[in-house]
Structure 1
């Protein structure tokens, strides 16, 4: 028998679904109309994040920390990657593992690199491929547990990317960019709307890019194209379809030894362009195919139905050579690093299906307004993963010799399956003109299956969990709205303990207290939030059975985030953020020495500011200039003998726009400051991005 809370949730969901269809029964076929879901992307200051929140509620009246980076802000940042797009967002540490070709970021102290969604749907886990940014209108960052909306996610937060969809006006936009490190890039964006409406409109956009890296032999090549179409089926139905193809080729960069960079090496400083892998054994190629649709139907009874579906196929073939982590140096002369048995040939073939169904209705009950959402979502993913390991010789970092022979030492081939289904219910209750209560609950059923084709073994694990969310927001006036919220999350964990007991899901919980701020004309949006986040059931070393794990660990992060986005005086636009995280540590562990250790790569303070000023008032044409800064205080990594130094880098831009063309010069890290993004372990640190100068010519017809 189901526990009472699950039985009640299931009864309510299916009861509301039955009512919706019963109320709309007629003898004639319904009229259908189509429109893609769109967040507000036309203004510099976002007031909604519909795709990520699964709600049309204003951000000002949402009791949760959400950051939105829209198209103009992405242009300001000159962001080429997701890590660059969310760099400087409050609560986010991005690119901490350097320029290795993947999307690496931490939200509220928890690694969230796998928590990337597209249009509200998970794009698959561990795809080894950085998400293409050029096809996106917005990047939305939700901080804190998001399991109620999205199921199994890390408690720190997640990123949702909103794709470019057909618009109501016809246009052609293109750009050509040339920049540092031989960057060559071209983009195009074509939209055709025969009826001056989003219905019946078609759009196609794409990018071609090629860039080298300051590290020897490292490069990045990208090819991307995405068509989309909105059907015109009538007033009550919206249907939008979209497809995309991405090809990516790159060399994976690992970092540099600590001795010779952060710490003195008796043999001198290491050349910053040193590549510690092998150019003959280090290329990654990947192809990502994605297609899906968004369907909406408005019932006459007042219910709205929304179905979102996507299928994604990812193929990756990559080679990489890594330094050893345990015996890093061959000897105490500190000239040669050990790479034995640490060369890999990785092949991944992932296929995932994801779907989300929602029923929504607004109604009044006993003079109280309710905004009810009932949802059922599911994901199925299959991953065929090969990881062949090879032996390769050591590398003298002062006189590197590449092209060494490799010998196969181990073959690993696994087939992994993940299936989950989630049932959720959310009610946004307007208690009066000022007080909003939000209650949400969700139950998930998850199943994992792992097959080792080499050892001919198989393991299966099933988990289920109930997560919830409750918040209260009080609108003092149109300017200030304080709130308090509590949310939980869960994430399945594979593996067993020494007694062959399957691990329980990790759990997360968070208390958040905050204040939302805005100007009366909504051209200024700001927030400040204090949070206390706990990650529980963390796997740690078994103190009795060597080589096994037990789930007795806990991590805690606690801090304050504040940010503002503003369009001031018609000519000045700015974004600013500040994060203070005094506590980010292990609070429970079977090893007493680990308790109190700070979580890797989390600075106590981070900050950012970005501005753009246009000389022509009330116009997006003419000259403009911009400037900004980004920085972090020092941070640590377990075992690293020294802290990673703090840094501040400055960015600037200048440009000129006419009705049909424009030009822009942008400089990131203007003074070419050498800094370190983070560390992989006690022996390897990762490099920050050097100065990047880009000149872009834009066309708009």
Structure 2
């Protein structure tokens, strides 16, 4: 028999039990305690119940394996809390003196409780709902159907809200700190969400989605998503156009917003930390009325913060009300409104001379030197989106979903760049100040029909759909002259003249229509086949507003995917797959022919292990990813390009996350990525590595609850993040230089008791100074950042 208790030492446990035996016999059910237990696998939930209540519970270990527990929140009697925990699990508890015993509900009792079984199904994990813990078991990002991850024949990383809360994640990029083969795009990532995945750039230009719908598609104006408003961040790795249309070969990034729920949600979180950081967030929700058809959610956040680059700010307001109407068990309509206003700044990169290598006289530019002018450089961002998610189930086998997002965003960017040294004085750098006004608005829709049927031992899940996107964007950029700056001893105060000249006035219109078909075929208990096909037509109109007419380019593409999974006993699942992607590109060759879209193709083989009844997932994959139709100079006419270049990424990725033991949680990753140019008409480019992509990346995060030291409310955490060396080719002198590897340390100390959680987090705890370089410019990585947070749930 398994005995779980809040007191870990046998002698202490015996003494306390003996001293309190009479009281426990009388009051085991009436004893009140503050509980904060999330819905999760039952073994872990019982351990937390014992810790928070101090009550001894007894059960056979095999009885609770593979079962899930309900959430329990707030102060209440221990017996009532345990009954709530077990509701819908097929188990019940009874009191035996000082002990609470868990046993199976007899068949004759269970038969009269059908409503409990329905509730248990409703509270099970779904592809778009919350994940209780670090490990997601289901996702819709890779298939647009609610599919177990272990049955998906393509690599996908899912970062849960629980992991982001533990690590105090401040951006979508930081969500992937402990993921394989993903890097933040330094500099730009302060302005808009952008990452490298498997060596290829992913941004909002076509590879970023929220709730399965495309974001604005315009970089600066697309801004950043607020992690506090997300249930999960998911990344399909490698070519993935078959369900989404145009996308970078590195993958598709999709976020899942916090949504209305029947379960009561009440949370307030306050933060304070480095660079004058102050932030408060609230997350509220629940049913409008106990028997009603409406659920609601309100997530909001206010931030007042500086940055490592002194004059630049990171202030923001985020508000996201949501409403769900469920007129019947088969129909739902969810409305998600999000609005953000942010004042941030773009830290312009510093030259290689003075950062990566010594500058004049062996000097180095001070860390986080600001090249602009205080009071001028800033970004004012405003984003609003409204999404409507409709679903109607005609039967257990037939479902219609129709989703729509309207978006409107604008950004006013004021920044200063330092581009070249002044002749005769290499400490002094010429500068230009820019005013850039960018706006984007449009909509995206996706409608699909899901049909299930069985033929003998073969089960099909067919998905047929059509999606549409329309974007209008405008960028007006003006240049102002400004005095040079000594980067080694900057003295600010130069006047920014009111006179400005037009740099460019770009206009952009984009439309895309895609039709797709997918079949998930499962036969027997072991084999899963996924096959899909998609056809896209896109129209892209662009040009300078000063021109008489804009240029329109129409393209089409056919992409597909096929993959196979074999489900072995014990939670093992080897898989293999082939997938394609495409990205339109503008321009013509010397004969006036429009360029074809670039094409991505990936071959991948991997293995997952998700042991039954445990919150743990191990995944490993090897891949070969190629991008073709890349532009390269035309040998016969170097003023034009031809599409004969090719880029390739090969690699190996391993990820593990979950509960390693009752008190130990782990998140670890390793990636080997060889990303290089394999074909080009420029001889020195052939075989060249991608400058920003390291061969090796590795990370490991561990958090340990100190119950064994009789400190069940305390948790310590530590993480290591290693990034291997990269290369940088300076466009000014053509020299190829190595950029050193670096290792960062993250630390955490947390205390949790019932509804309260207080944590101290330190990113880059030892303040490692490291560089991220590309094309002759470098940025210093984030310094030590300490955050103290206090949260209360009720």
TM-score normalised to the size of structure 2? Answer: 0.80
Cα offsets for 1:445-495 (capped at 9, x unmatched): 111111421122310011111100011111222321111100111111112
**Distance (Å, rounded) in 2 between the aligned partners of 1:453 and 1:276:** 30
Paired position in structure 2 for 1:344: 434
Paired position in structure 1 for 2:274: 180
Contact 1:40 1:48 in 2 (8 A): no
Cα offsets for 1:134-153 (capped at 9, x unmatched): 21111111101110111100
Q: Name the SS for the 2:726 alignment partner.
A: coil
Paired position in structure 1 for 2:247: 153
Q: Name the SS for the 1:593 alignment partner.
A: helix
Q: Does residue 638 of the first structure (1) align with residue 729 of the second (2)?
A: yes
User: Is the alpha carbon distance of 1:627 and 1:197 closer, same or farther for their aligned partners in structure 2, counting shifts above 3 Å?
Assistant: farther
1:55 to 145, 155, 162: 145
User: Is the alpha carbon distance of 1:198 and 1:354 closer, same or farther for their aligned partners in structure 2, counting shifts above 3 Å?
Assistant: farther
Contact 2:332 2:392 in 1 (8 A): yes
Answer with 1 or 2: which has the greater Rg: 2
- Write out aligned runs for 1:174-253 (5 A): 174-195=268-289, 199-253=293-347
Q: What are structure 1's unaligned runs of at least 5 residues?
A: 1-33
**Distance (Å, rounded) in 2 between the aligned partners of 1:508 and 1:99:** 24
Paired position in structure 1 for 2:678: 587
Q: Name the SS for the 2:602 alignment partner.
A: strand
Contact 1:385 1:415 in 2 (8 A): yes
**Distance (Å, rounded) in 2 between the aligned partners of 1:534 and 1:265:** 39
**Distance (Å, rounded) in 2 between the aligned partners of 1:322 and 1:307:** 45
**Distance (Å, rounded) in 2 between the aligned partners of 1:171 and 1:105:** 32
Cα offsets for 1:607-630 (capped at 9, x unmatched): 11112222349x997221111111
User: Is the alpha carbon distance of 1:487 and 1:171 closer, same or farther for their aligned partners in structure 2, counting shifts above 3 Å?
Assistant: closer
How far does residue 304 in structure 1 lie from its aligned partner after superposition? 0.5
Q: Name the SS for the 1:60 alignment partner.
A: helix
Contact 2:127 2:147 in 1 (8 A): no
User: Is the alpha carbon distance of 1:243 and 1:601 closer, same or farther for their aligned partners in structure 2, counting shifts above 3 Å?
Assistant: same
Paired position in structure 2 for 1:15: none
**Distance (Å, rounded) in 2 between the aligned partners of 1:467 and 1:51:** 17
How far does residue 411 in structure 1 lie from its aligned partner after superposition? 4.0
**Distance (Å, rounded) in 2 between the aligned partners of 1:197 and 1:93:** 47
Paired position in structure 1 for 2:192: 102
1:130 to 224, 238, 256: 224
Q: What are structure 2's unaligned runs of at least 5 residues?
A: 1-121
- Tell me how many residue pairs correspond in the alignment: 659
For structure 1, which segment, 38-47 or 290-299, has the greater mean C-alpha deviation from structure 2 after superposition?
Answer: 38-47
Paired position in structure 2 for 1:19: none
How far does residue 695 in structure 1 lie from its aligned partner after superposition? 0.7
Cα-Cα RMSD: 2.1
User: Is the alpha carbon distance of 1:51 and 1:509 closer, same or farther for their aligned partners in structure 2, counting shifts above 3 Å?
Assistant: closer
**Distance (Å, rounded) in 2 between the aligned partners of 1:592 and 1:694:** 49
**Distance (Å, rounded) in 2 between the aligned partners of 1:344 and 1:52:** 40
- Write out aligned runs for 1:688-699 (5 A): 688-699=781-792
Paired position in structure 2 for 1:545: 637
Q: Name the SS for the 2:500 alignment partner.
A: strand
Paired position in structure 1 for 2:48: none
How far does residue 431 in structure 1 lie from its aligned partner after superposition? 3.0
**Distance (Å, rounded) in 1 between the aligned partners of 2:156 and 2:712:** 30
Q: Name the SS for the 1:380 alignment partner.
A: strand
Q: Does residue 284 of the first structure (1) align with residue 376 of the second (2)?
A: no
User: Is the alpha carbon distance of 1:402 and 1:537 closer, same or farther for their aligned partners in structure 2, counting shifts above 3 Å?
Assistant: farther
2:541 to 449, 459, 464: 449
How far does residue 399 in structure 1 lie from its aligned partner after superposition? 3.4
Q: Name the SS for the 1:216 alignment partner.
A: coil
Q: Name the SS for the 1:148 alignment partner.
A: coil
Paired position in structure 2 for 1:111: 201
Cα offsets for 1:40-93 (capped at 9, x unmatched): 512321111224531222111111101111011001221111111112311211
**Distance (Å, rounded) in 1 between the aligned partners of 2:373 and 2:759:** 37
Q: Name the SS for the 2:450 alignment partner.
A: strand
User: Is the alpha carbon distance of 1:270 and 1:349 closer, same or farther for their aligned partners in structure 2, counting shifts above 3 Å?
Assistant: same
Contact 2:482 2:494 in 1 (8 A): no
For structure 1, which segment, 176-185 or 389-398, has the greater mean C-alpha deviation from structure 2 after superposition?
Answer: 389-398
Contact 1:469 1:487 in 2 (8 A): yes
2:657 to 553, 565, 568: 565
Paired position in structure 1 for 2:163: 73
**Distance (Å, rounded) in 1 between the aligned partners of 2:591 and 2:374:** 44
Paired position in structure 1 for 2:600: 508
**Distance (Å, rounded) in 2 between the aligned partners of 1:522 and 1:442:** 37
Paired position in structure 2 for 1:654: 749
Paired position in structure 2 for 1:466: 558
**Distance (Å, rounded) in 2 between the aligned partners of 1:301 and 1:571:** 40
User: Is the alpha carbon distance of 1:131 and 1:542 closer, same or farther for their aligned partners in structure 2, counting shifts above 3 Å?
Assistant: farther
**Distance (Å, rounded) in 2 between the aligned partners of 1:301 and 1:250:** 48
Contact 2:130 2:231 in 1 (8 A): no
Paired position in structure 2 for 1:320: 415
Q: Name the SS for the 1:539 alignment partner.
A: strand
Cα offsets for 1:345-373 (capped at 9, x unmatched): 11111002011111111111354211111
Contact 2:187 2:346 in 1 (8 A): no
Q: Does residue 673 of the first structure (1) align with residue 778 of the second (2)?
A: no
Contact 2:573 2:607 in 1 (8 A): yes
User: Is the alpha carbon distance of 1:455 and 1:534 closer, same or farther for their aligned partners in structure 2, counting shifts above 3 Å?
Assistant: same
Paired position in structure 2 for 1:93: 183
How far does residue 544 in structure 1 lie from its aligned partner after superposition? 3.2
Contact 2:237 2:250 in 1 (8 A): yes
Contact 1:291 1:312 in 2 (8 A): yes
2:780 to 687, 695, 698: 687
Contact 1:390 1:410 in 2 (8 A): no
Cα offsets for 1:96-134 (capped at 9, x unmatched): 347643323101111112222100111121241122222
Bigger RCO (CA 8 Å, 6+ sep): 1
Paired position in structure 1 for 2:445: 355
